[in-house]
Structure 1
Amino acid sequence: MITRFKGRSLLFNPSSVIIALLLPTIILVTLPGGIIDAFILVSFISSALLLVIMLENDDPLNVTFLPTVVLLLTTFRLLLSIATTRNIIANEDVGDVIETVGEFVMGGNLISGLLIFVIITIVQFLVVTKGGERVAEVGARFSLDALPGRQMTIDGDLKSGLITGEQAQKLRSDLSTENKLFGSLDGAMKFVKGDSIAGILISLVNLFGGIYVGINQFDLSLSESVSRFSVLTIGDGLVSQIPSLLLSMACGVYLTRIKGAGEESSPFIEQLMTQIGVFWKSLLVIGFVIFALGLSNSNLLYVCAPLALMCALLAFLLWRKQAQPTAIAVFEPLGSGVFQSLKFVIREGNHQLVIQRRVEDIEQVLWGQSLGVPAVTVNAQLDNDIEVYVSGICIFRFSHDASQSVIEVMEDDVFIRHQDVVSNVSTIVDYFLRKRLVEKYNLQYTSNIIDGLATQSEVMKNEIDSAIGLNRVHDVLKEMIRSSEFYLDRISFFEALIYWSRIESEPKNWLIRIRSQARYEITSRLLHNQDKLHVALLDPPLTELIESFVMGETEDVDRLIDIQQSLRKEVVRLTTQYGCKPVLVVNDSEVNSVKSFFQQVMSTVVVCSHGDIADSSYVATSEPLQIAS
């Protein structure tokens, strides 16, 4: 019976075992020439492939394998050089690649071949390798220096609600990976530099050691020994230095490749042509200069004329590419912060300003706390003036052309239709923004508000942290944002909160006490553009019934539904009668239970205590809400 083993059931990955055994085997075993040829070609191909990948890549995090690959290829090439040195000194078969490369470079001239080899070695070591090492060092240093600032930026975006916790975690992970990557690559480039130095020393050993061994052990004459071992030394040196050159260039390209902000991912050549295309006129100037140089010397004309023509042709192609209109990509707008899944589709473009102002008004209530923005799409072909979407589902549509005088929103808000469409859209937008804020407001925003308090009063911030705590402050603020009529400046609000938290043991009553200190502000916001308030009252039996429902003492569901529907109709009736929503006024002890009950009736109805009204002279009418018996 044959048992099949899955890869993950093995103790080690087979490829890892092969690599671990292959590297020491290269220097412990005398390799035949055919295997040496194969290994040399693998070294060439691997280095060239890595350079091509780096030219195509523009994101460091796409090639996190680079430092490890550089280390392995450098070690592999160094061990291969040791193996070829053994064969050269022992006058064994070194394969066809080394001899072919050496004879090709020498071209029958020993001196010129040696000079070319020396020049290539100098360029490889002094220019490419040392330059790549310096670039890697600077990149690692700059990446490390920028780490605190980039982490603070991520934290700031998270606190502002511009990104989610999952996005922040991914950004931090990417940042950590990028710093490790640049640090590892800086270390890997030290291996490349050491390999270049070792390659020079190995070449000297091959040349002088080979000449000595050839004369003393293999009975070769001096000229024969110099000729043979020069070819082998040059060939071995080049098949080692050229892959090293390609590898250094790959690392240099990787470290110096920069993608501009907002620029799409593209290969290096495409990026180069796109950016050079902006300066196509410069190519024309260069082409003209080259052609003028050819005219000044007839011997150069046959070279300069084709070059000038190529510059002119390239400039023409780049000009055509720049002149062609670029297709405008259409992106689905996305919301952010607490409004992330909320989208408004509007018919008139000027309504975007209305939405922006409503967001700013709500942020002002929370003392400038950034809450994000909803997605907004303008569609001139829209049948309605505004459509509201949550998570891609349309939940409300409004058209100003409709005939009804009273507008109901989701059976949770009601207002008298305005004459102008802008005011109607503004009221609808304000409702959905506040509704979404109540649903999505979280502890992080409360923490940001408390942190902002520290810039005004460090003592007050410390008192909030020690005496009240984040969770209880959050509960008070969440109740506050349900009350569109309430506003106090941050210092006054938290000063009152600290005061009442020492006197009142029940946190749910703190906001009621604070509201009494803000009665003038509340009355002003309730009046808005009106001269008088229209007050609705609750009869004591109805109030007792509401409290029994809230406390769970009464479980008559049918009766509960009847009362809710009757109260909703009463609010609509009074709104139609007075031209504005009535303000429901109850006793202090009844505020919390009545407000909780009306969240299921019509959450936008303002529930106040008698202490919230600054002066009874502002009250124009007051009548109790009537319900069916």
Structure 2
Amino acid sequence: MKIKKNDLFIGIYLLAAVLFFIISIPSWLLDILLAINILVALVVLFNSLFAKEVLDMASFPTMLLFTTIFRISLNVSSTKLILKNGYAGKVVDTFGKFVGSGNLVIGIIIFIILIIIQFIVINKGSERVAEVTARFTLDAMAGKQMAIDSDLNTGAITDKEAAERRKKLQQENSFFGSMDGATKYVKGDATAGLIITGINLIGGIVMGMAYGGLTINDALSKYTILTIGDGLCSQIPSLLISLATGVLVTKASSEGELGDEIIGQLFSMDRVLLMVGAALILLGVTTPLPWYIFIPLGMALIIYGRKLSAKAGETAIEESAEQEETEASEIRKPENVVSLLNVDPIELEFGYGIIPLADVNQGGDLLDRVVMIRRQIALELGAVVPIIRLRDNIQLNPNQYVIKIKGIQVSEGEILFDHYMAMNPGYVEEEITGIPTFEPSFHLPAIWITESQRERAESLGYTVVDPPSIIATHLTEVIRQHIAELLTRQDVQNLINNIKDNNTTLIEELVPKLMGVGEIQKVLQNLLEEGISIRDLVTIFETLADHAAVTRDPDILTEYVRQALKRAISSKYFLTGEVTNVVTVDPAIEQEIMNSVKNTEQGSYLSLDPERSKKIIEALGNELKKLEDMGKNPIVITSPIVRMYFRNLAKDYYKDIIVISYNEVESNVELQSVGMVTA
């Protein structure tokens, strides 16, 4: 495998650092390496300074470790040369003499000042900022994830944008977590440099006196300069790296170039510049301070401030004129009506009094609940709910909300924002006072109660729910009722693509050879219309492939699929080990219905006499009343051949009716008939 140049450079960089701990290097090579060390430190500093966002330097923690170990290895190499030869190259010698101005005291003081700046000011601050930033970034991760889900759910961003934002969020968390530990490298590097400097000074004096024949004064003079030079050679790059660390962790909230932001924020307000300029002139005139410095600086600020003020006025006039021109052009140009043709599958509109429930900044969690609704429906019915649009509508009453399907209102409700809804499950004897109302999902009687009444209502046995739960439950029920018509051909194609990789043979046999996407859509809609989950697509498609060669009638194919899904249907409506009360249909009625079925090229339909239909419906109502009085589900059992026709006959009169054929009931289910539909 071919090795990349960058990988080779990093490998040599780290290998050299390790070797320098072991082998001795000549002073001329040390000079080159110290210059490279300073170069790398400056490159890191200016990259950190001009990075637009922190993730532009995502590898900084690793970079920090590499530069630290390399710098310490150079420290060890220079120590060997100082103790062995009393000379560590031109760079170390120059730093010791030039920076200290040839004075040992000045050199020592400068070195100590650098140590203090690095330890107390930069390292301490960077370490604290990195620690706090990491903590808050990790704590905010859950909220940011929910914000991304909310934006995706409301259509503000696409799936691709959501994936990118999640990836960036993970990178930020990883970066700040690493930076929290990486700042310890900088602190440890400074500490190691200080210790090495002390060893150099003491060891150099001992070596000079013991092996070099120097007096204590000569040894002190010689080795102090070398030690200070060596210390400065390591501490100045270390200081630059520390500064880069500080710059990076403190610009976490900045997305632009740091230089532009700092200058723009400091010198962008004309009033500030005028006041500071006047203050400087006043100090120059009324105090012994050098007027030739303070007055010119004050005048410069005042002149610049007046220019900013004039420029701001011109900008405001230009923006006003541009806005008027834009408005005029909007009026003149023909309206783009194409954008008005789009219809959202599901909309939730609400009055301004409900806005806090949908505003994350005000503690509202309605957006999160909408996300959970889509997940719940997907798990329960196997269908993907389209994006639910949430909009405020000032034309509605403050506490009113409206649910629309394909632009048409299908349901509405009204809540009291600071109240709770209490419902009597049927066994509560003691009543509590409140505002009478109806639960919007199932139209059950309820009352609005205050926060102070909530605990008492729950203790009495009332079911108490908050406003967001009321809206979410109502929206969920509306979606369940209309999920069949929300299933589009594109949705069906997506479902097919989702299982195609693991079921290639099945899909190739079924689509488009035996059935088209539209025909499969009709079967799935029939199932969803009766609340049957379509998650088990493999079983559904296997059944369709088995029978589509015989008939392509979607209604008949639906019956075959239902029989294949009898385990799921039985588990949905019947409890194992318990007797389920049901209503049956008189065989004579079933035969009469089958005799009234007309078959056409468009499908089969029931042509029963209206008077006869009325009698059957009345008889059905009497039998269902028995189940209702017993608190049971309205389940009717019929023969397989008549099930769909009987259900089509009854569904317009009894929307909650459940019609199941004998072939859809598992053998271990126990049924007990409480009546028979006969007329």
* TM-score (normalizing by structure 2): 0.52
Name the SS of the counterpart of 1:207 in structure 2. helix
For residues 208 and 98 of structure 2, the distance between their equivalents in structure 1, rounded to whole angstroms, comes to 22
Whole-Å separation in 2 of the counterparts to 1:481 and 1:452: 17
Cα distance, 1:323 vs structure 2? 4.2
- Partner residue in 1 for 2:342: 433
Counterpart-to-counterpart distance in 2, 1:453 and 1:147: 17
What is aligned with 1:269? 259
State how far apart, in whole Å, the 2-side matches of 1:138 and 1:284 are: 37
1:271-294 residue CA offsets vs partner (Å, 9 max, x unmatched): 122222343322222222222222
What code does the residue aligned with 2:85 have? N
The CA deviation at 1:324 is 4.7
Q: Name the aligned partner's letter for residue 379 of structure 1.
A: E
Q: CA deviation at 1:320?
A: 5.1
Match for residue 232 of structure 2?
238
Q: Within 5 Å, which residues of 2 pair with 1:24-35?
A: 24-35=18-29
Q: Percent identity?
A: 30
- Measure, in 1, the Cα distance between the counterparts of 2:131 and 2:327: 51
2:90 aligned with 1:96:
yes
1:577-603, Cα deviation, whole Å (9 max, x unpaired): xxxxxxxxxx99999969xxxxxxxxx
Report 1:45-60 matches (<5 A): 45-60=39-54
Aligned mates of 1:271, 1:461 — CA distance in 2:
42
2:191 is the counterpart of 1:197? yes
Q: Matches of 1:87 and 1:512 in 2, distance apart?
A: 87
Matched residue type, 1:469: L
Q: Where does residue 388 of structure 1 map in the other structure?
A: 338
**In structure 2, C-alpha distance between the alignment counterparts of 1:311 and 1:162, rounded to whole Å:** 45
- Work out the CA distance in 2 between the residues paired with 1:589 and 1:473: 36
| Structure 1 match to 2:102 | 108
Q: Please state how far the C-alpha of 1:71 moved relative to its aligned partner.
A: 1.2
> Which aligned pairs between 1:189-588 and structure 2 lie closer than 5 A?
189-259=183-253, 266-298=256-288, 300-319=290-309, 322-325=312-315, 379-382=330-333, 384-388=334-338, 429=340, 432-434=341-343, 437=345, 469-471=381-383, 487-488=410-411, 491-492=441-442, 508=525
1:150 match: 144
**Correspondence for 1:180:** 174
Instruction: Tell me if the contact between 1:81 and 1:202 (Cα under 8 Å) persists in the aligned partners.
Output: yes
- Alignment partner, residue 540 of structure 2: none
- Normalising by structure 1, we get a TM-score of 0.56
Name structure 2 gaps, 5 residues minimum: 320-324, 347-357, 359-364, 387-402, 413-439, 443-473, 484-521, 532-550, 556-595, 604-647, 654-679
- CA distance in 2 between counterparts of 1:325 and 1:20 reads 55
Partners of 1:591 and 1:153 in 2: how far apart?
Answer: 53
Q: How many Å separate the matches in 2 of 1:462 and 1:149?
A: 18
**Alignment check: 8 A CA contact 1:280 1:318 kept:** yes
Instruction: Give the deviation of 1:221 after TM superposition.
Output: 1.0
The alpha-carbon deviation at position 229 of structure 1 amounts to 0.8
For residues 71 and 300 of structure 1, do their structure 2 counterparts lie closer, same or farther at Cα, with a shift above 3 Å needed?
same
Q: CA deviation at 1:148?
A: 1.1
Taking the aligned partners of 2:157 and 2:597, their CA distance within structure 1 comes to 40
CA contact (8 A) 2:146 2:368 kept: no
Deviations 1:349-394 (A, max 9, x none): 79xxxxxxxxxxxxxxxxxxxxxxxxxxx73342x444426xxxxx
Q: CA deviation at 1:507?
A: 7.0
C-alpha contact 2:381 2:528 (8 A) present in aligned 1? no
Q: Secondary structure at the match of 2:338?
A: strand
Q: What letter corresponds to residue 63 of structure 1 in structure 2?
A: M
Query: Which position in structure 2 is the counterpart of 1:41?
Result: 35
Alpha-carbon spacing, 1:210–1:310, altered in 2? closer, same or farther (3 Å):
farther
CA contact (8 A) 1:132 1:252 kept: yes
Letter aligned with residue 433 of structure 1: N
Cα offsets for 1:514-572 (capped at 9, x unmatched): 9xxxxxxxxxxxxxxxxxxxxxxxxxxxxxxxxx99989xxxxxxxxxxxxxxxxxxxx
Partner Cα separation in structure 1 for residue 146 and residue 60 of structure 2: 28
Aligned 8 A contact 2:150 2:367 in 1: no
Q: Distance in 2 between matches of 1:15 and 1:181?
A: 24
* Cα deviation, residue 471, structure 1: 2.4
CA contact (8 A) 1:588 1:610 kept: no
- Structure 2 CA distance, aligned partners of 1:462 and 1:101? 66
Give the aligned residue type for 1:487. V
CA drift of 1:109 comes to: 2.5
Return the alpha-carbon distance in structure 1 between the equivalents of residues 191 and 81 of structure 2: 21
Residues 1:55 and 1:591: Cα distance change in structure 2 (over 3 Å): farther
Match of 1:21 in 2: 15
Which of 235-244 and 111-120 deviates more?
Answer: 111-120
Question: Aligned equivalents of 1:189 and 1:26: distance in 2?
Answer: 24
Select the structure with the greater relative contact order (CA < 8 A; seq sep ≥ 6). Answer: 1
Q: Which residue of 2 aligns with 1:166?
A: 160
Distance in 2, Cα, partners of 1:94 & 1:453? 67
Alpha-carbon distance in 2 for matches of 1:135, 1:453: 33
Larger mean Cα displacement after TM superposition, 306-315 or 110-119:
306-315
- What is the SS of the residue equivalent to 2:290? helix
CA contact (8 A) 2:267 2:273 kept: no
What do you get for the CA RMSD once the two structures are aligned?
4.7
Query: Is the 1:278–1:322 contact (alpha carbons within 8 Å) kept by the matching residues of 2?
Result: no
CA shift at 1:100, angstroms? 1.0
**Deviation at 1:513?**
9.4
Contact 1:497 1:510 in 2 (8 A): no
* Partner secondary structure for residue 487 of structure 1: strand
Letter in 2 for 1:161: G
Q: In structure 2, how many angstroms separate the alpha carbons of the residues matched to 1:27 and 1:53?
A: 29
Matched residues in 2 for 1:498 and 1:299: separation?
A: 81
Q: Specify the code of the residue in structure 2 equivalent to 1:309.
A: M
Residues 1:81 and 2:75 aligned together: yes
Contact 2:41/2:238 (<8 A) preserved:
yes
Question: Counterparts of 2:600 and 2:168 in 1: how far apart (Å)?
Answer: 50
CA distance 1:551–1:148, shift in 2 (3 Å): closer
Could you tell me how far apart the structure 2 residues matched to 1:388 and 1:497 are? Answer: 28
CA distance 1:325–1:241, shift in 2 (3 Å) = same
Q: What is the CA deviation profile of residues 9-30 of structure 1, one whole-angstrom value per residue up to 9, with x for unaligned ones?
A: x9x9422331232111222222
How far apart in 2 are the matches of 1:178 and 1:277? 31
The alignment partner of 1:388 has SS state of helix
Gaps in structure 1 of 5+ consecutive residues: 329-346, 351-377, 390-428, 439-447, 475-479, 515-547, 553-586, 595-607, 614-629
Matched residues in 1 for 2:342 and 2:59: separation?
47
State the one-letter code of the partner of 1:295. Answer: V
C-alpha contact 1:210 1:229 (8 A) present in aligned 2: yes
Structure 1's 230 and 320: CA in aligned 2 closer, same or farther, altered over 3 A?
farther
Deviation at 1:487, TM superposition (A): 2.1
Deviation at 1:77, TM superposition (A): 0.9
The 8 Å contact of residues 277 and 322 in structure 1, kept in 2 or not, is answered as: no
Contact 1:34–1:95, Cα closer than 8 Å, also in 2 = yes
How far apart are 1:157 and its partner, in Å? Answer: 1.8
Other structure's SS at 2:157 match? coil
Q: How many residues align?
A: 413
Are the aligned partners of 1:27 and 1:83 in contact in 2 as well (CA < 8 Å)?
yes
Deviations 1:228-253 (A, max 9, x none): 11111111111111111111111111
Q: CA 1:266 to 1:321, structure 2 compared with 1: closer, same or farther past 3 Å?
A: farther
Residues in 2 aligned to 1:250 and 1:303: alpha-carbon distance in whole angstroms: 33
